[in-house]
Amino acid sequence: MITNLVIFAFITGLLTGGVIAGAIAWTRDLGLNLKWWKWLMAAFWYMLLLLLVFAAFTLVGEGEAVAGWKILGIATVVMVILGAGLFRLFTAGHKQ
Amino acid sequence: MAEKSKKDGEAHSRREFLKIGGAVAAGLQVGAVAGAGMAAGKDPSTHTGWQHLGDNTQFVDRSKLIRKGPAYEITGETIRPRRYESAFGRQRLIARDMTQYREMINSFDAGEDRQEGIGNPSDLPERETSPETSGGVRSPRDAKGFPPLETFTEPMLSYYKARPDLYDLDKLRVEEIMPKKRKDQEKYEEFYTLINAWSDSWSTHERITEPPEVSDFKIEGRRKIGKPMPFKSPELASKLIKKVAHHFGASMVGITTIEPDWCYNYDLRGSKNRESYEVPKHWKYVIAFGVPHQWEQVNSNPNSGTSYDAYARISIAARRMETFVKSLGYPARRHSPMDGYDLIAVPYLVKAGLGEQGRHGIVITPETGSNFRVAFVTTNLEMEIDQPIEFGVKEFCEHCQICADICPSGSISKADNNEEMNTRGYRHWEINQTSCYNFWMQSMGGMGCRLCLIACPYSRKSNWVHTGVRKLDTHDPTGLMDNVMTSMQKRLFDAPEAHEYLPPPDGRFANYREAPEWLQVKNYLDIETSDPSLGE
């Protein structure tokens, strides 16, 4: 039990580091200079995405697959809209 | 110049963000590992032998440990064992021969104290048997010593001649060890009151055949209860009873006082008088406890589930609890699904603070929703009592009609509230028990239904998703979460319509969820079956 948790935490930490490094690289590539609050918003968006995926698959795992897929479908639509809105906000007034 | 300064500032801001975020992440990870360690350490599912098995049937994959060859190496001619070769197995024969010996010298005295020895009680005369802490048989009191070897009859005579060492050991036990133990018991037994009560309660096995004024004062129907052991305080009595109840298998426990209005007024168990009776004066307190159903099968109700899994487990817990209380010197009577009730369950559960009564007439608890079965023990052991609780069920049930919508027999009210309802002077949700029972008689599988238990939004699994939603609902004073919960349950969690649970041709013997793999005939039995869901 504890071994699984430690391994999970370790892998999650590595992945999180990777995601952060990737995000930095993307912003540099796009020429975006994001303020800290924009990073925070992006992080919230990402965490909300993880939370919804986690919730959906929790339902799938407990045997309520229909409910899980429905939540995943709704989450996908909501997260795409939110993501697009955030991208517009981050790039507003920015010239490539 | 200004632009360069601005860029430097932004770069600095970015560096600060990375630094702070990294530190916060490190702190969170350390905290998470510490929290995970705490949780893993406290997790009851890590108790040896009680871990979650997942899809396995054993904790260890024994297929990797198989060795070749027979279990034992054969070293000579093999013979079957004789029961009296076992120290436990020969107790019956020893007792028989000791009895004969003592009758011969006219000095037999059947003992009543706890003694060692295990045998087959059904083979013994009544005076030689008694319930044991160890679940066995008492040997006769040995006031006159162990019989001489030559007074034993066959087969013990031949056996002892062949094994004089065992004769000496049995003689030692009877002449020295057991008398010494009796003296030790006289001196120290109270020091072990709780473990003896605990042990007695696990070994109990009796049926209620006598009225409360008799049966409630006897342990296992034979031994009279001893003097009441005084507790340091009612609070500690309550704490101990709850602790023990959990170990007996109860998932939740509450304690309250007796309410005559909620005791049946007819057909008292064990009483020859089938008419009205006074509530026994020693029924002062009620210990109420419950267990949930096995998760997979309860979801496959009404036609591939049963009530008896939880019925049996809570009835066993009730038997144990009754004996435990009696063993502490207090009269007690169990009321359970397998042994019957002399009281009505729901109001006592509400009064003992286990939950609130829902639209479907049964109690909804914060832990398991409607998915639980209950038993009670009535006693005069003074305990701290619990208070009724409130976590929004009343308001929720007024919003939610899921149980009423799904009920195949239409037995659950769809009224907006229970303001107009009156049951023997008390206001609470009422159901039509007769039409409910009629559907029990129609359903397949284990008799009964249980759909309202499992369709209740409070009964959803106790994972973080549902637990979180339930907690939000409990703490939401606006009623918004009631609507969210009900709406999500209806929109996300598909279920067959009410009529589909009925027998063909009106329905198809549907279940709320598919039966678990291990309850599906097609997976295990080589027989031809007719699937009612495919039509006639």
DSSP sequence for A65-82:
HHHHHHHHHHHHHHHHHH
- Please give the pLDDT value at position B117: 38
CA–CA separation, B388 vs B338, rounded Å? 26
- B494 and A62 within 8 Å at the Cβ level: the answer is no
Of residues B17 and B383, more confidently modeled? B383
Q: Which candidate, B285, B188, B295, B302, places its Cα nearest to that of B238? A: B285
Chain A residue with Cα closest to B20: A36
With an 8 Å Cβ cutoff, the interface of chain B facing chain A consists of: 10, 13-14, 16-18, 21, 25, 29, 32-33, 36-37, 39-41, 43, 45-46, 299, 461, 463-465, 491-494, 513
Q: Which candidate, B341, B72, B350, B326, places its Cα nearest to that of B216? A: B326
Alpha-carbon distances of B326 from B216, B217, B373, B533, rounded to whole Å: 8, 7, 23, 51
Shortest Cα–Cα distance, A65 to chain B (Å): 9
Evaluate whether B309 touches B294 at the Cβ level (below 8 Å): yes
Name which of B36, B45, B494 is nearest A9 (Cβ-Cβ).
B36
Q: Which candidate, B424, B356, B343, B428, places its Cα nearest to that of B387? A: B356
Phi, psi of B219 (to 5 degrees): -90, 125
| Chain B residues close to A70, C-beta within 8 Å | 491-492
Q: Is A13 in the B-facing interface, judged by CB distances under 8 Å?
A: yes
Least confident of B58-67, B153-162, B317-326, B329-338: B58-67
- Please give the pLDDT value at position B122: 39
- A1 and B299 within 8 Å at the Cβ level: the answer is no
- Please give the pLDDT value at position B49: 63
Q: What percent of chain B has pLDDT over 70?
A: 81
Shortest Cα–Cα distance, A5 to chain B (Å): 7
Q: Which candidate, B406, B401, B413, places its Cα nearest to that of B496? A: B406
| Chain A residues close to B13, C-beta within 8 Å | 35-36
Q: Which candidate, B138, B91, B451, B511, places its Cα nearest to that of B307? A: B451
* Plot region of B450 (φ>0 → left; ψ -120 to 50 → alpha; else → beta): left
Top-ranked range on mean pLDDT: pick from B274-278, B401-405, B522-526 = B401-405
Q: Give which of B51, B459, B461, B472 to mutate to test A binding, by max A Cβ within 10 Å.
A: B461
**CB-based burial of residue B95 (10 Å sphere; 0-12 exposed, 13-18 middle, 19+ buried)?**
buried
- Six-digit token pair at B216? 């409630």
| Chain B residues close to A59, C-beta within 8 Å | 465, 492
- Please give the pLDDT value at position B15: 58
Q: How confident is the model at residue B382 (pLDDT cuts 50, 70, 90)?
A: very high
DSSP structural state of residue B173: I
Q: Which candidate, B520, B530, B56, places its Cα nearest to that of B305? A: B520
- A59 and B465 within 8 Å at the Cβ level: the answer is yes
Alpha-carbon distances of B316 from B8, B270, B431, rounded to whole Å: 74, 19, 29
Alpha-carbon distances of B387 from B268, B362, B410, rounded to whole Å: 28, 18, 33
Name residue B38's amino acid. Answer: M
pLDDT over threshold 60, residue B26 = no
Chain A residue with Cα closest to B296: A63
Evaluate whether B443 touches B430 at the Cβ level (below 8 Å): no
pLDDT over threshold 60, residue B124 = no
Q: Give which of B14, B371, B519 to mutate to test A binding, by max A Cβ within 10 Å.
A: B14
Q: How confident is the model at residue B115 (pLDDT cuts 50, 70, 90)?
A: very low
Indicate the helix (H) or strand (E) that contains B374. Answer: strand B373-379
Interface pTM, i.e. ipTM: 0.83
Mean pLDDT of B337-341: 91
Evaluate whether B512 touches B496 at the Cβ level (below 8 Å): yes
Shortest Cα–Cα distance, B36 to chain A (Å): 7
Of residues B182 and B335, more confidently modeled? B335
| Chain A residues close to B43, C-beta within 8 Å | 1
Please, what sign has the CA dihedral across residues B459, B464, B466, B472?
A: positive
Evaluate whether B111 touches B105 at the Cβ level (below 8 Å): no
- B13 and A35 within 8 Å at the Cβ level: the answer is yes
Where are chain A's structural domains? 1-30, 35-96
- Please give the pLDDT value at position B108: 42
Mean pLDDT of B392-407: 93
Phi, psi of A24 (to 5 degrees): -65, -45
DSSP structural state of residue B442: T
Shortest Cα–Cα distance, A96 to chain B (Å): 16
- Please give the pLDDT value at position B19: 56
CA–CA separation, B414 vs B410, rounded Å? 9
pLDDT tens per residue, range B411-470: 999 999 999 998 889 999 999 989 998 998 888 877 788 999 999 999 988 888 888 888
- Six-digit token pair at B201? 């309660």
Indicate the helix (H) or strand (E) that contains B285. Answer: strand B285-291
Residues forming beta bridges with residue B256, ordered by sequence position: B286
| Chain B residues close to A36, C-beta within 8 Å | 13, 16-17
Which residues contact residue B504 at a Cβ distance below 8 angstroms, ignoring those fewer than 6 apart? B532, B535, B536
Chain B residue with Cα closest to A73: B492
Helix (H, G, I), strand (E, B) or coil at B388: coil
| Chain A residues close to B21, C-beta within 8 Å | 20, 39
| Chain B residues close to A24, C-beta within 8 Å | 18
Chain centre distance of CA B28: 40
* pTM of the predicted protein model: 0.77
Sheet holding B332-335, edge to edge: B252-257, B285-291, B373-379, B332-335
Where are chain B's structural domains? 83-190, 204-536
- B493 and A55 within 8 Å at the Cβ level: the answer is no
Indicate the helix (H) or strand (E) that contains A59. Answer: helix A36-61
Q: What percent of chain B has pLDDT over 90?
A: 42
Alpha-carbon distances of B207 from B21, B216, B419, rounded to whole Å: 67, 12, 42
Q: Is A87 in the B-facing interface, judged by CB distances under 8 Å?
A: no
- B-facing residues of A in 52-81 (CB < 8 A) are 55, 58-59, 62-64, 66-67, 70-71
Evaluate whether B533 touches B509 at the Cβ level (below 8 Å): yes
- A6 and B33 within 8 Å at the Cβ level: the answer is yes
Evaluate whether B107 touches B139 at the Cβ level (below 8 Å): no
CA–CA separation, B144 vs B350, rounded Å? 59
| Chain A residues close to B10, C-beta within 8 Å | 33
DSSP states along B28-53: HHHHHHHHHHHHHHH-GGGSTT-S--
- A71 and B492 within 8 Å at the Cβ level: the answer is yes
Please, what sign has the CA dihedral across residues B365, B367, B373, B376?
A: negative
